[in-house]
Structure 1
Amino acid sequence: EAQRWLRFLLPLERQAVANISEWLPKLSFPIRTGEHSQTAFAFGLMLDWAEIAANEEFHSLLKARIRELYAGDVDCPLAYEPSGQDFLSPCLAEADLMRRVFTRTEFAEWLTLFFPTLSAETGSDWLAPAVVTDKTDGKLAHLDGLNTSRAWMLQGIMHGLPSGDERRAPLRVAAEAHRKAGLDAVLGDMHYMGSHWLGSFATYLETARGHSPGANP
């Protein structure tokens, strides 16, 4: 059945790659929102697909543009996050993206400049989970998704660092706190405003779909 659907979707897949390939050179700046249009999250998904599909041309184009758009970024203002209706973190999504295009050593060096306050001594208050005050509000409920996406991005950043990097410990603590908050929202008291989409985020988190592709030595 999966192969049957793959055949049906191949024309759409090819057209999407063609459209994105035409658009990428025109993009002058990243789109740094915390919602649907954010480019860092989308580029990460595209890179993972390009590796699985063995589309080297698209993969090379993506990596080149990602480096041009993001490699020079420093001191991401994580303290300004989240916005009130985010379901993605602009800062964490960018870091989770860059570990896909850098070697582990390059990524460790880049992350030092990107998150200068992150160190082995970083406490559990470095990044606190967001709290939804009204689950019936479709926009405010986005914050439940933010906790879940933060969890998988923090895990991705951790896995992108060398095994002996001391920053892995505080990243693991933050990831677990966000994982618990995110899954509690999915498995607990959830309104339709969240239930119709949060399950996809929980699945992405629990299956670690974004961790293996793009892992660099």
Structure 2
Amino acid sequence: MRWALTLMVCVLPFSPVRSESLTSTEAGRFVTLALECVHREYPNKIAHVMASDADAKPPRQLTPAFYGCYDWHSSVHAHWLLARAARAFPDAPFAASARAALARSLTKQNLALEVAYLQTDGRASFERPYGLAWLLQLAAELRSWDDLQAREWTSALIPLEEEAAARVSNWLPKLAYPIRVGEHDQTAFAFGLIWDWAQTSRNAAMESLLRAKAQEFYLSDRACPLNYEPSGQDFLSPCLAEADFMRRVVESARFAQWLDAFLPQIARDGSTDWLRPAQVTDRSDPKLAHLDGLNLSRAWMLEGIARGLPAADARLRSLRGASALHREASLGAVTAEHYVGSHWLGTFALYGASNN
């Protein structure tokens, strides 16, 4: 199924960025990391199915909009970072550079080649679901930006946005089981991003699909084994990501009841020792550095879970306290020291800071 998105470009309501805890200086730090990678082609890790010698091409020719930042999904969400920061701080010193980078990448020609790449035989599962979810999140960000240039980028992105949405919508009815890992293939985290896009684009069909999967996959879950987390190279929490998705689709009082059974470990006395930040032993190792991302994503997921609960819920202080500990544990690691982390951690830092 495909949806006619073109007519929506100029009629969607403006969605404000939550930036109460984010300063222009902090956002600029993350923008610098994105600018250093969005058009840096190498090193590059591509997931590229080759049918012949003709497919042996450099990344800039294969995916000319999103070839930087080490891999396709990181490039996509680095562009999201630039859009989010420039929208939140339009007068900041970095805004012009962020806009210039977006304009360089998000041309109709580049994006047409991105669509052609996805539609080539052998790429049915390319970047599914993580990269596709971030592509839709980028589309949602641009659609929420009340700006002439952003509307031009939105228009240029529509064919790729439609392709990503169609791939997700065709896949979901066939997906018989949730994917409960702590890395890219996880469904709960991707479902949350896609849900937010569906609401921004007023896509009732996608919302309906996700509601059905929430009921099928997650609604009857009980006693998530939080003590089994983290695995050694997680950057997403299977338990917290599921709860952060469910608070989007379940009414607050019902969500509170579901959470009672799903995560009974959450303290009600304001304590935080029920969930400790992950220890990162080597930030130069690309897989071990994932754990900094885990701390940052846990931080925003804990805040998201808190937002989904009633205002008087006894778990709020413990959730927010644990969120602060996780954020503090890894925010200082979001630097340019190691490219294995700098090409993506800025997005996780900005996403958390600007959504809470």
In the TM superposition, residue 3 of structure 1 has moved relative to its aligned partner by 1.5
Taking the aligned partners of 1:79 and 1:182, their CA distance within structure 2 comes to 20
Q: Which runs of 5+ in 1 are unaligned?
A: 212-217
Residue in structure 1 matched with residue 264 of structure 2 by the alignment: 116
> Which amino acid in the other structure matches residue 13 of structure 1?
E
> Which amino acid in the other structure matches residue 133 of structure 1?
T
Alignment of 1:43-192 (within 5 A): 43-121=191-269, 123-187=271-335, 190-192=337-339
In the TM superposition, residue 14 of structure 1 has moved relative to its aligned partner by 1.0
Q: Deviations over 1:120-158 (max 9, x none)?
A: 136321111111111110000000000000000000000
Equivalent residue of 1:125, what SS? Answer: coil
Residue in structure 1 matched with residue 349 of structure 2 by the alignment: 202
Name the structure, 1 or 2, with higher relative contact order (CA <8 Å, separation 6+): 1
2:272/2:319 contact within 8 Å kept: no
Taking the aligned partners of 1:111 and 1:122, their CA distance within structure 2 comes to 17
Taking the aligned partners of 2:338 and 2:170, their CA distance within structure 1 comes to 40
Q: Deviations over 1:162-188 (max 9, x none)?
A: 00000011001100001111212115x
- TM-score scaled to structure 2, two decimals? 0.57
> Which amino acid in the other structure matches residue 106 of structure 1?
R
Structure having the higher Rg: 2
- State percent identity of aligned pairs: 58
> Which amino acid in the other structure matches residue 185 of structure 1?
A
- TM-score scaled to structure 1, two decimals? 0.92
> Which amino acid in the other structure matches residue 104 of structure 1?
S
Q: Which stretch shows the higher mean deviation, 55-64 or 131-140?
A: 55-64
Q: Which runs of 5+ in 2 are unaligned?
A: 1-148
1:141/1:193 contact within 8 Å kept: yes
Taking the aligned partners of 1:109 and 1:30, their CA distance within structure 2 comes to 22
Aligned residue pairs total: 208
Equivalent residue of 1:100, what SS? Answer: helix
> Which amino acid in the other structure matches residue 291 of structure 2?
L
Residue in structure 2 matched with residue 3 of structure 1 by the alignment: 151
> Which amino acid in the other structure matches residue 193 of structure 2?
L
> Which amino acid in the other structure matches residue 82 of structure 1?
P
Equivalent residue of 1:126, what SS? Answer: coil
1:87/1:144 contact within 8 Å kept: yes
Taking the aligned partners of 1:94 and 1:75, their CA distance within structure 2 comes to 12
In the TM superposition, residue 190 of structure 1 has moved relative to its aligned partner by 3.9
Q: Deviations over 1:80-101 (max 9, x none)?
A: 0000000000000000000011
Equivalent residue of 2:353, what SS? Answer: helix
Equivalent residue of 1:73, what SS? Answer: coil
- RMSD of aligned Cα (Å): 1.3
1:99/1:160 contact within 8 Å kept: yes
